[in-house]
A and B are shown apart, each in its own frame.
Chain A
Amino acid sequence: MLPVLPVLVPLGAAALSLAAWGRPRAQRALGVAGTAGLLAAGLALFARVSADGVQVVRLGGWPSPFGIAFVADLLSAVLVVLAGVLGLAAAWGSLSAVDAPRQGHGYWPALHVLLAGVAGAFLTGDLFNLYVWFEVFLMASFVLLSLGGTRPQLAGAVRYVVMNLLSSTLFLAAAGLLYGMAGTLDLAELSQRLRAHPSPALVSAVAMVLLSAWGIKAAIFPVFAWLPPSYAAPPAPVAALFAGLLTKVGFYAMLRVFTLVLAPAGAVPRELILALAALTMVTGVLGAVAQGEIRRILAFHSVSQMGYMLLGLGLGTPLALAGSIAFLVHHSLVKSNLFLLSGAVELTSGTDRLDRLGGLWASRAGLGIVFLVTAFSLAGIPPLSGFWAKLALLRAGVDAGAWGMVACAAAVGVLTLLSMTKIWGEAFWKAAPSGPAAAGPAAGARGGPAPAGPPAARGAAGLLLPAGALALLIVGLGLAAGPAMRVAERAAAGLSDPSAYVRAVLGPGGLR
């Protein structure tokens, strides 16, 4: 039952908050309670998986590979906990930073459905079911992204929707082709059957289709152009949730299927993934350097950091995979938090354009401290979480003798620090610009309350609380780096040797 709970809790919360349509107080309470419930379910699942190994639930009692199984290994459990943490932070921030009309028009149900879809994608053990969960959270993300209907939102939404639908179509085609080749969609059974497939070239071709499909979702080079406009437009808590979770689901799908299904069949193009990783890192960070708005800078960094995760997947050693997983968790927390903070900056100053910001350190020292901690973690300053994840990836690169990749990752780290100091210097450190330009341009342009009024101050304070909590978590993760990395290593061990996963799903005789 436990592996299904992280899907059932948000779905239940979504149904209840649909039933509570028109009663904002009930919906808001459900928003916090539902996401907290998801976090609790995730923690319970994590404790069980950590103690007893891989957990499997067969829906309808059909044995694998005929039925659809929900499988929770350590990686899935960690990611579900992550979804719970980010969901709770976003819901908490939404209470004050999302305006009442949006909250009254389906914001809360869409939030819960999004989390249910993400948790389902993390937990399913069936390729077609993975596609269905992708569609579930995509649909919810379409609603969250376009809700409110301002022009920048619609412009971002069109790109996001078209690119993601193209990606879904590719995914579906690949699932169909794999079924045609192997006669099953169960991931564990697929991994066993494809290993003995007579034509490895055919498997490689399907692997390329999957790489294209999930590459679009994960926003890697050269298909990341949809990401910056769609992360720059919606209200801050929505952007935080998107930045923390959505691209990560695409990467999770790669991590799972490439290690479990395609690596035994010898169909993972490691050199190609490494090349894409390097290009993603570099183009993302260079794009960020050219931007002059906080949200766009952060969005381009999301692209760049995806390159680090791909680097781990491309190297493929247990240490590299552990680094990838640690980086995924660290980056979700940090990037989510930075988007929350950018929302707080917008609500206090009315804009996130760096040339119109300034003097925030003098007026909002608390905001400054939380931002500084989070931004330093993104740049990988020891002893914060980003440092340990990057260290593991760099060590794995050195072990594999991939010196070009190591140099590239280190250089991109320096440029990341440069971008963060740019935001710090412009928004917090320099004197506040005087004159009418400093006043907010479009009131409430990003879906928060109108800036510079009492509701805006409340909104900014309401974002600062969850952001502070996330920052504490980031510091804690850095201080407890030893235990955290051990969890990542155990999760990675389950990926590089998937026999425990296969045995848990198919039974002791399933491993061939």
Chain B
Amino acid sequence: MLTLTLLALAAGCSTTGKDGTRHYIVIGFGLVSVNTTNLASAEVYKMQVLGISASDMPGVRLNMGYASSLVVLVPANNSAILEISDGPFSPLKLK
């Protein structure tokens, strides 16, 4: 019961880690929106879903089951050098 209560409280929460990474937790039904109108020099999004998910990045997508996605966005008129390391259940490392 306590676990269920904690999970219910965590649903929809977002936290910011020490490295500035913003984490969103969605349990049940939720919507996470990312505004890409004014991109910073580079933005990296990681998504891990167990269940049903719909996304429009990079194309319209509807998944059922386990889905993992990593998207890197860099404005076309910018210069950036990025090194990204990622695993299914490990934090994203970005240099």
A interacts with B: no
Q: Which residues of B contact A (CB under 8 A)?
A: none
Q: Which residues of A contact B (CB under 8 A)?
A: none
